Structure 1
Amino acid sequence: MSEAVWNKLKDLEKPSLAQLFAADPDRLDTYATAFELGDEENSCAIRFDWSKTHLDAAHVAAFEELAAAMDFTGRRAALFAGDIVNPTEGRAAEHTAQRGVGKEESVALAHENHHRMAAIVEAIHRGAMGDVKHLIHVGIGGSALGPALAIDALAREGAMVDVHVVSNIDGCALEQAFAACDPATTMLAVASKTFTTIETMTNAESVIGWLRENEVDDPFGRVVALTASPEKAMEWGVDETRILPFSESVGGRYSLWSSIGFPVAMALGWPDFAEFLAGAAAMDEHFRDTDGMANLPLRAAFADQYYTRLRGCQTRAVFAYDERLAMLPDYLQQLEMESNGKRVKVDGSPVDGPTAPITWGGVGTDAQHAVFQLLHQGTNLVPVDFIASIAQGHDLDPVHHRILLSNCFAQGAALMAGKDSDDPARAYPGDRPSATILLDEVSPATFGALIAFHEHRTFANAVLMGINPFDQFGVELGKEIARQIEKGGTQFDPSTEALLQLAGIA
């Protein structure tokens, strides 16, 4: 059935963007939607504008047919019901339950865990653990990227605690954190689902050593563990009262909403963290309860599939025209490429086409002077997402923000329109797609909804491709070989052997 729909999609006419706007005076109303958050007194919105993509009524109808053929409704229902949606590992994927939307028992457990986390956060802020000014948070992958992004976006000014997120095993990263922290007023958060991740545990041991070397009497008394394996944390030396658990059914790159968000709550305070969860929950409810193209993450997935499968686009670019969202492209790289970078379907059969594009991007306006040459005049067709905020995040002259937004909107317009010239070097082909996500403001609620939108977009893409977005076995082989190198006694290819010799490892 799905093959027949793909054949139909391939055979459809593909008008230019200019033709689409000319043929449909209501195109903007159809493909641009304001997602409202909050109540009448405290309302804000995110505008999702997919009008400058090549989606049209015929393609949308066919993609909705594809979604039906791939049982999108059933797989979405399974996600929210807490059923097994990660068959290779026999697990549910219950990150939405952390936001209060999901299986009743899982939501109740998440609420209990959040209550425990809120009590510890508020106790620390009240001084129950002494004068705490700094927190070193060690984790890797989703245990680090999510907190680092959220803190950078929401806690640039007035943070209640100065948080340093360290993920790299390279000691330079830890040394930088040490230089910024006073050991007498520093806590350590260790984020590891299994509490065995070698990079995280090595970094954690080094922080304990640093505290001890600087005459902190009880280094382990400064530790909070964020884990799905509480017994392992206790074995390592963390007191049970300072272990914040989360469920095995919460995957690493989807774990920001769980106790992995502890450093975010430490920086922001619990009320703002709760607002962050509520914004995500609003997007969860929209995704769960809305069908067809009106479903914003699904609409985005239709466009993603159009460019990847029908136009052969191997990459998708994301540009945040807001310094507070500078880390968003990095975060989306992991979310999308680790989730959907697969070569087999859920049933183990080979994927019959491309899956996730390479996600990349940067920050406007810096990126305009670095990579936009290729976007405007290169031979690669690259769909672009622009993300910006109407409200500025600084107290300087508003001219800064006006120029920033003018550049953001101008780039989308220029990519679409292009420009003719008698000089080929000065000609722009145009008809290059972009989408724009415009926040009223970068607040905990809008930021939560934005991240949840991308999680559901990733899931919707996976359903349309028939793959499992919740395992990540591709990251394991390199780790396994690294462990073999550490043990010694294994012969590798000549190139690797030479590198080991040069580095003094063999």
Structure 2
Amino acid sequence: MTAPRCDRTPAWQALRAHYEAQGRAFDLRQAFATDRGRFQALGVEAPEVFADLSKNLVDANTLQLLLALARACDLEARRDAMLAGAPTNTTEGRAVLHTALRAPRGQGPHSDEVHGVLDAMLAYAERIRADGRIRHVVNIGIGGSDLGPQMVLPALDEFAHRGLSFHFVSNVDGHDITPVLRGLKHEETLFIVASKTFTTQETMANAHAARDWFLAQGGTDTARHFAASTTNVEAAAAFGITTTFGFWDWVGGRYSLWSAIGLPIAIAIGADNFRALLAGAHAMDRHFASAPLERNLPVLLGLLDVWYRNFHGFTSRSVAPYHQGLKRLPAYLQQLEMESNGKCVDLNGEPLPFGTSPVVWGEPGTNGQHAYFQMLHQGTDVIPVEFIAVKCPAHGLHDLHAKLLANCLAQSQALMLGKTTAQAAAEKAPTASKTLAPETLARHRTFPGNRPSTTLLLDRLTPASLGALIALYEHRVYTSGALWGINSFDQWGVELGKALAGDLLPRLASGDTRGLDGSTAGLMARLEGWHRPA
């Protein structure tokens, strides 16, 4: 369907005027001082997730103008069309139906197909869990075929099978697979090759290396020790794999952990917990589909992204999960957001005159505090931060968890409050400088404050709450992409480098540099003899 692009609506112009008049100078400290109910007004309940939006640079007027922009861009109608199976991915002529993968039986599009594959995959996962001979599972994939399962498994470690170890190989660099294989016994290992087409260059290179290792170790039953998540059954069979689970072209790679790509997740946490993961995501789908925009958490987060990117000019966002199990979430979100919304033309192919995806990055707290938080607090760029906290831990070390939560709350508080030069001067410095005057030292210890953050709070990290959290991010990315008028579901930017690599690969062996640019030819000459030991 066609819909107005955000910058071509009167609502955009109204937001611009509001930003110039009030938004640019908005002060969080003053907002809290004058509005006792700010936290209650800007706290949003969604399935399994509570969001505190009160430390963002918005007031009621800002939110109303952002919601008007969403309606001017027909967000609700576009959302409904996507969920109904319209060809939302216009450049590839495909529907976008990852939500169908977690719909209950009989309720979503393609339900019979989806649940047929799901039932077969979960039955196989249960057989592997009960097979005492398999002790190691190696997932070979890249992109969405790697990042999703690799992110979910540590997050749900509390629910994982204790007799199985899981390994992930994605990089075509042999330094990735070599140390994995070094610690395995072939008779105890199951390899899962995750590639929709069974042609992904990096995945197939690693799959062949794994099979070569398996055979060299004396393995004979390839069919028992290899399975595949793929639609190319013929190619898998030619490889020696007879156990395959397929998925569909309306499932994008970065949205695929709910599909057969989730096989290692299912083996790790079991069928019931995998269904709970799907159920949590489905609950967030229903929230996105039916909650009023004013209380629709994915929509509100997506609108904040537009507000910060296009009006305040913030170019990045840091994600700081205060739970070690979510250590791979920032990497997962990098692909989800930057591959989806890192676009420079709209749906009609017209160049965009405004910024789209921010840079998404981060580390778990408290590690990040000792790495990059210095820049967040005192750097020249303002970087919105997303804190994720879990109320109840899966361990009994309550003193450690209290320290973790205190740090999470303190960091968002410090970003907002800051510290004036006068406050710094009134405090006794931890160390006294022998070369700087006290007033100069105080300026070094000044924090500007008024730096925005969002806190997402889960009661526990469970399959259901993790499913809801991931789906929340998916729909948030769609919201901002819809307003920007871009296709959030293709990734042509990934393809050019792949094509050029295919041309350069034989040249590395032959040394042929004809027709290449000077830099590439010069680098290839420097790489001559790469296959010989130094």
TM-score, shorter chain, exceeding 0.5:
yes
2:34 & 2:235 partners in 1: Cα distance?
A: 62
2:469 & 2:368 partners in 1: Cα distance?
A: 22
Alignment of 1:395-474 (within 5 A): 395=396, 397-422=397-422, 423-474=442-493
- The structure 2 residue matched to 1:136, chosen from 138, 142, 148, is 138
Matched, 1:503 2:527: yes
- The structure 2 residue matched to 1:28, chosen from 17, 36, 39, is 39
Q: In the alignment, what sits opposite 1:476?
A: 495
1:228 & 1:75 partners in 2: Cα distance?
A: 29
1:229 & 1:255 partners in 2: Cα distance?
A: 16
Alignment of 1:325-336 (within 5 A): 325-336=326-337
User: Residue 193 of structure 1: CA displacement?
Assistant: 1.1
User: Residue 205 of structure 1: CA displacement?
Assistant: 0.5
2:120 & 2:446 partners in 1: Cα distance?
A: 60
Q: What CA deviation, in whole Å up to 9, does each residue of 1:73-128 have, x standing for no partner?
A: 1110111111100000000111100001797442332111101101111222233x
1:368 & 1:134 partners in 2: Cα distance?
A: 34
User: Residue 21 of structure 1: CA displacement?
Assistant: 2.0
Q: In the alignment, what sits opposite 1:148?
A: 150
- The structure 1 residue matched to 2:166, chosen from 163, 168, 187, is 163
Stretches of structure 1 that go unaligned for 5 or more consecutive residues are: 37-44
What residue identity is the alignment partner of 2:349? G
User: Residue 165 of structure 1: CA displacement?
Assistant: 1.2
2:473 & 2:163 partners in 1: Cα distance?
A: 28
Q: What CA deviation, in whole Å up to 9, does each residue of 1:20-69 have, x standing for no partner?
A: 22333222112112334xxxxxxxx4211111001221111111111112
Contact 2:322 2:387 in 1 (8 A): yes
Count of residue pairs brought into register by the alignment = 493
Contact 1:159 1:268 in 2 (8 A): no
Q: In the alignment, what sits opposite 2:127?
A: 123
DSSP 3-state at the match of 1:224: strand
Greater Cα shift, 174-183 or 282-291: 174-183
2:403 & 2:488 partners in 1: Cα distance?
A: 39
Contact 1:81 1:103 in 2 (8 A): no
User: Residue 238 of structure 1: CA displacement?
Assistant: 1.7
What residue identity is the alignment partner of 2:526? L
DSSP 3-state at the match of 2:319: strand
2:529 & 2:351 partners in 1: Cα distance?
A: 38
Matched, 1:66 2:69: yes
What residue identity is the alignment partner of 1:487? P
2:247 & 2:161 partners in 1: Cα distance?
A: 28
Matched, 1:208 2:211: yes
DSSP 3-state at the match of 1:33: strand
Q: In the alignment, what sits opposite 2:357?
A: 356
Post-superposition, which runs of at least 4 consecutive aligned residues in structure 1 deviate over 4 A? Answer: none
DSSP 3-state at the match of 1:356: coil
What residue identity is the alignment partner of 2:451? R
Q: In the alignment, what sits opposite 1:110?
A: 114
User: Residue 11 of structure 1: CA displacement?
Assistant: 1.3
Q: In the alignment, what sits opposite 2:435?
A: none
- Could you say if the C-alpha distance between residues 438 and 202 of structure 1 is closer, same or farther in structure 2, counting changes exceeding 3 Å? same
What residue identity is the alignment partner of 2:60? A
2:519 & 2:116 partners in 1: Cα distance?
A: 52
Higher Cα Rg, which structure: 2
1:56 & 1:484 partners in 2: Cα distance?
A: 54
Alignment of 1:179-190 (within 5 A): 179-190=182-193
What residue identity is the alignment partner of 1:56? D
DSSP 3-state at the match of 2:273: helix
2:29 & 2:302 partners in 1: Cα distance?
A: 22
Matched, 1:17 2:23: no
Contact 2:222 2:241 in 1 (8 A): no
2:301 & 2:246 partners in 1: Cα distance?
A: 33
Stretches of structure 2 that go unaligned for 5 or more consecutive residues are: 423-441
Matched, 1:5 2:5: no
Q: In the alignment, what sits opposite 1:39?
A: none
Matched, 1:340 2:341: yes
2:238 & 2:161 partners in 1: Cα distance?
A: 36
DSSP 3-state at the match of 2:457: strand
DSSP 3-state at the match of 1:187: strand
1:484 & 1:451 partners in 2: Cα distance?
A: 37
Q: In the alignment, what sits opposite 2:434?
A: none
Q: What CA deviation, in whole Å up to 9, does each residue of 1:481-500 have, x standing for no partner?
A: 10000133553221111211
1:463 & 1:25 partners in 2: Cα distance?
A: 34
DSSP 3-state at the match of 2:363: strand
User: Residue 408 of structure 1: CA displacement?
Assistant: 0.5
User: Residue 230 of structure 1: CA displacement?
Assistant: 2.6
- Could you say if the C-alpha distance between residues 399 and 87 of structure 1 is closer, same or farther in structure 2, counting changes exceeding 3 Å? same
1:482 & 1:446 partners in 2: Cα distance?
A: 40
- Provide TM-score, normalisation by structure 1: 0.94
User: Residue 232 of structure 1: CA displacement?
Assistant: 2.8
1:493 & 1:69 partners in 2: Cα distance?
A: 47
Contact 2:157 2:325 in 1 (8 A): no
Alignment of 1:360-375 (within 5 A): 360-375=361-376
Contact 1:139 1:190 in 2 (8 A): yes
Q: In the alignment, what sits opposite 2:286?
A: 285
1:419 & 1:316 partners in 2: Cα distance?
A: 22
Q: In the alignment, what sits opposite 2:234?
A: 231
- Provide TM-score, normalisation by structure 2: 0.89
Q: In the alignment, what sits opposite 1:317?
A: 318
Matched, 1:192 2:195: yes
